[in-house]
Structure 1
Amino acid sequence: MNLKILLGDLFGAGSETTSSTIRWFVLYMVLYPQVQKRVQEEVDNVVGADRQPGLEDRESLMYLEAVIHEVHRKASLVMFSLPHQTSKEIKLGGYTIPK
């Protein structure tokens, strides 16, 4: 079952468009203007106004990177990953996760 889900995720991720991710990002920036403001401040401080951000800036744009990861997590662009449950009770890190 896990292999099927993983393959579905890989197929879905490969066929999902960048434009959908950008639309979700813009939506979350509209919904959370305080986050948008902080992202803009970080970009202004790290990159400045004289150039476009590049891949070399990625390590310095930690808040933006975290926001992008959060958008990916919340937007759930790949619909194949619905089964997120355990198939049996397991113990993990001192916690019991029920079936």
Structure 2
Amino acid sequence: MTESVRDEFAAFGLVVEVEEAGEVIHPVAACNWQSLTAFLACDTQWRVVGVGLGGMIWIGLDYTACDVVFRRGHFADQAWDDVRVMEEAALPILNSGEE
């Protein structure tokens, strides 16, 4: 697992533990793999609004930009429904203000 992928998980409050001998692997069921990779492929497509001195409110994914990601990445339509569920789950975490 690369450092950037580990940081992406951390942005959603998920900690990937690393052991001395190697990484602890948290497997993803094969039926969920495309949905997860689609969600991660859209990770730069969040809409945010700046508030105050350095604060941000995460609004949600930019669906127009995500449509391009889906078409170029050849993701199945079913993955879109799953991405929206993950988006809904991620927003309260992103807007919690906790780091």
TM-score, normalised relative to structure 1? 0.26
> Larger Cα Rg: Structure 1 or Structure 2?
1
Normalized per residue, the structure richer in strand is 2
Higher relative contact order (CA 8 A, sep 6+): 1
TM-score, normalised relative to structure 2? 0.26
